[in-house]
Amino acid sequence: MPSTALTPGTRPADTVEAVLARIADRGDDGVWITVADRHALLARATELEAVAPGERGPLHGVPVAVKDNIDVAGLPTTAACPAFARRADTDAGAVRRLREAGAIIVGKTNLDQFATGLNGGRSPYGAPESVFGGDLISGGSSSGSAVAVAAGVVPLALGTDTAGSGRVPAALNGILGLKPTRGIVGTSGVVPACRSLDCVSVFARELDDAARALDVLVGPDPADPWSRRHRPAAPVARPVLAVPGDLDVADAFAGDHATAAAFATAVLRAGATAGAVVETPTGPLREAGDLLYGGPWAAERLAALAEFADAHPDEVLPVIRTVIARGAEFSAVDTFRARHRLQELRAWTARLFERADLLLLPTVPTTFTRADLAAEPVARNLVLGRWTQATNLLDLAALALPAGTTPDGRPVGVTLLGPAHADRALLAAARTLLPALNPPIQEAP
């Protein structure tokens, strides 16, 4: 893959030309919905080149892709629905912070329509293929952002993550996917999926880039009623790591023995870097995740889209209409019952983090091809979220990490999770864990 690292002294204008050349070289790959005008990008580069070295921001001259459900001033926001498209007058809160730090916003990337899906194929703008090839899905909903980073087009990209959209595509493209604690990165200017759960996420290939982006993005967002103050937890040098103690191949990995074996290896390697390892049941985590699409939170998606879907029924993809329509099936009584059960599951999770600092889970149970998803779009999409859907409901922070490949060359990913505000603790732990999960390949003598 081409390097996206910025060499000291690289002119932002040269960076712009290099990124545009990489986009052109990849052709019609389904990654981008809108690429910013070259003249506008070069004008931004000129602006940055005029900044004195001592006054440059932490992302000076860094090219960034932005998922197309996040507003970028002067560019359309489509949420992968042409009839929804509107030109944004102002930047989303997260984009504004990137610009203030010196970033160059290259353009808007493809997604599962209205950020509803985890496979990357629910878009009229195409279905990006994983960088691993073989017709493998890119994952979604932040498909374009993940592939743009994994393919070496840009070093950083923004996605969103409600059910796993910032982690599933990271796993399926072999990169990092950081899902911050809910509310510490503002969501103003983000087209809502489930407003109470939505997060802006970060894709990167290097931990330093992810950490730098988090430092820039965290902060109050007065236009976001869910914005909250970040109270960072202190990293632990050798954290106690909780790992699943009740996995079976058929259920936990959808029958994928190769992915199950790869996760078992990842657990052994992670354990060698931890202060201690404790086993945990995962049933409560799975139960919490099932509430997202199988419970009344489906109604929150309907609340966000009902007016548009009613006015433009033929412009919303049929599978998206099916998913959001489920929201009408739940009563107020159902909602309170589910909230009460979720509170019990949150209490269980809090007790887990009293005996462990972090939790290690698979990111996805298995992989699928684009043909697989076309044949069975709903059930297989739910499989992809098996280990990610609980995270925001339980108010956890998460960091998806690559963990090598299966013997047949498919990507394997794991996710580190911690309680709210453990974001920097996750990044610190990953500095030791990531090399252990991806040891150098030994050359044959």
Instruction: Report the distance separating Cα 90 and Cα 84, nearest Å.
Output: 17
Q: Are 20 and 65 in contact (CB under 8 A)?
A: no
* Amino acid sitting at position 351: R
Instruction: Describe the strand order of the beta sheet including 32-35 as a list of residue ranges.
Output: 32-35, 104-109, 63-67, 156-160, 200-204, 176-179, 396-405, 411-419, 358-362, 240-244, 276-280
| Angle (CA) 95 62 426, round 5° | 75
**Of residues 130, 141, 143, 145, which has the active-site annotation?**
141
Q: Which amino acid would we find at residue 424?
A: R
Q: Is residue 165 flagged as an active site residue?
A: yes
Catalytic site includes residue 179: no
Query: How far is the C-alpha of 277 from the C-alpha of 243, rounded, in Å?
Result: 7
Q: Residue 142 in contact with residue 165, Cβ under 8 Å? A: yes
CB 214 within 8 A of CB 180: yes
Exposure b/e, 409-425, CB count within 10 A at least 16 = b: ebbbbbbbbbbbbbbbb
Helices (H), 222-331: 249-252, 257-273, 283-294, 297-311, 318-325
Distance CA 416, CA 117 (A): 22
Q: Tokens standing for 368?
A: 């699928």
Q: What is the spatial distance between Cα 165 and Cα 194, in angstroms, rounded to a whole number?
A: 12
Active-site residue identified among 67, 108, 130, 201:
67
Q: Of 123, 165, 188, 227, which residue is the catalytic one? A: 165
141 labelled catalytic: yes
Three-state secondary structure call for residue 51:
coil
Pairing type for strands 32-35 and 104-109 reads antiparallel
Q: How many CB atoms lie within 10 A of CB 135?
A: 13
Please report where in the chains the tokens 């090839």 appear, as a residue: 133
Catalytic residues: 67, 141, 165
